[in-house]
Amino acid sequence: MKMYILICCVAMLGIAQAQTTTMFVYEGKFNSSFGRSENFRQFKGTLMISGDRSLFTMKETGAHLASVQGNNIDLRPDSMFTVFKDVESNSLLFEFSDLNQRTHLFADTLFPMDWKTSEEQRSIGGIPCRKAVTQFKGRGYTAWYAPTITIPDGPWKLGGLPGLILEAYDDEDNWHMTFVSKQEVQGFDQDHFLAAMKKGTEGFPAFAAQVKKIFSRLQSSLGAQSSANCVDCQTKSVIKFHSWEKID
Amino acid sequence: MKKLILSAAMMFAAFMTQAAVGKQIEEVKFKSGEEKVSTVVWGDEVSPGKEALCTITMKGRIDLGPIEAEVSCTTSATTCEAATVSAISCLSAAMRTVRTVIL
């Protein structure tokens, strides 16, 4: 009987630990014009970690600092850079919102980054951190990770370092996330992502194909319209597409 | 009323100054940046003749967060007024078309 109670206690403790979720809160910015002009918005990032699984997402806060005004169609989703990671199954899913603001899930490689670590150190929120740099999908990134927090995770798709990434930014500082606090939370809804993983999710090439399809749709619709209505005028109309991650 | 007349006069003066320069006026100046996806050109190419004195570029954006489409209309005409009107018309039509596609 004593043995049975002991086993039950150990099992319950295990379940309780598995359900413990820590939310790491980040603050930062994102320039949706990616360096071509200033179009910065402030964001709050949350990285919720429960066992081997985590969910990162970014929501807009504060002021919108833009040099671009008017003539804009804003189709940004409420949450951006949303990424679900499962280290145990070596899986990563990310969200993408299309022209109709429908969200789709795609799979990507978990932590493919080839990090170059250095001896450079600094403290973030009182936690000692080390510097690492990498190239990922067409951009250079710097990460400051905490060797004392032995979680190989970080904001967005970044991770795979011997410690949690507490600050990350790209070389042009168009995207920047800095850790500000952490707290224990109830957990997060994993069912949506686990169901997608079980069902089988298309990978990054399918995401790239969908983006190209959207661009093609816009291009053809714009190409079909008539141009200038001025007899003496000569008009050149150009549509350019830009993606945060290099997709070709 | 005086203020209104003064404002209108100042706007007209500023417009005439720009027209006299006869150079490209951009709504937004973009730094040179790496094209991450592709560039597609549609419409007629501009090859300003001797009579084209003013070139106007108007730009619009379709922001999807991590991806963005940028539409620009560049018009050359003998007067800046004609070029501006034509560029605005072109961009308005383009953005209307995009909205139609979305909805």
Residue A247 contacts B, CB cutoff 8 Å: yes
Residue A74 pLDDT class (50, 70, 90 cuts): confident
Which B residues, 9 through 68, put their C-beta within 8 Å of a C-beta on chain A?
27-31, 33-49, 51-52, 58-68
Total-model pTM: 0.76
Residue A145 pLDDT class (50, 70, 90 cuts): very high
Q: How far apart are the first and last CA of chain B?
A: 43
Please give the average per-residue pLDDT across A26-40, as a whole number. Answer: 87
Burial class (CB in 10 A: 0-12, 13-18, 19+), A2: exposed
Q: Please check the confidence at residue A93 and state whether its pLDDT lies above 50.
A: yes
Only one residue has tokens 């200038």, namely A228
Considering only residues A91 and B8, tell me which one the structure prediction assigns the higher pLDDT.
A91
Residue contact A238–B62, C-beta within 8 A:
no
Residue A212 contacts B, CB cutoff 8 Å: yes
d(CA A207, CA A104): 9
Residue contact A215–B86, C-beta within 8 A:
no
Query: Hey, of A34, A239, A243, A248, which one would you mutate to test binding to chain B, going by the most B CBs within 10 A of its CB?
Result: A239
Considering only residues B20 and A12, tell me which one the structure prediction assigns the higher pLDDT.
A12
Please give the average per-residue pLDDT across A124-151, as a whole number. Answer: 97
Please give the average per-residue pLDDT across A197-224, as a whole number. Answer: 86
Only one residue has tokens 């504060």, namely A62
Query: Hey, of A38, A234, A245, A247, which one would you mutate to test binding to chain B, going by the most B CBs within 10 A of its CB?
Result: A234
The helix (run of H) or strand (run of E) holding residue A65 is strand A53-66
Residue A209 contacts B, CB cutoff 8 Å: no
B53 CA: distance to closest CA in chain A (Å): 11
Nearest CA in chain A to B41: A238
Please give the average per-residue pLDDT across A167-187, as a whole number. Answer: 96
Least confident of A32-36, A64-68, B96-100: A64-68
Residue contact A138–B36, C-beta within 8 A:
yes
Residue A72 pLDDT class (50, 70, 90 cuts): confident
Residue A64 pLDDT class (50, 70, 90 cuts): low
Considering only residues B42 and A41, tell me which one the structure prediction assigns the higher pLDDT.
A41
Please give the average per-residue pLDDT across A135-143, as a whole number. Answer: 96
**Regions of chain B short of the pLDDT cut 50:** 1-46, 48
Residue A2: its pLDDT value, please?
Answer: 58
Residue A73: its pLDDT value, please?
Answer: 81
Q: Please check the confidence at residue A16 and state whether its pLDDT lies above 80.
A: no
Nearest CA in chain B to A68: B28
**Candidate from A33, A71, A215 with C-beta closest to B91:** A71
Q: Please check the confidence at residue A111 and state whether its pLDDT lies above 70.
A: yes
For A141-169, give one letter per residue: b (16+ CB within 10 A) or e: bbbbbbeebebbbbbbbbbbbebbbbbbb
d(CA B59, CA B63): 13
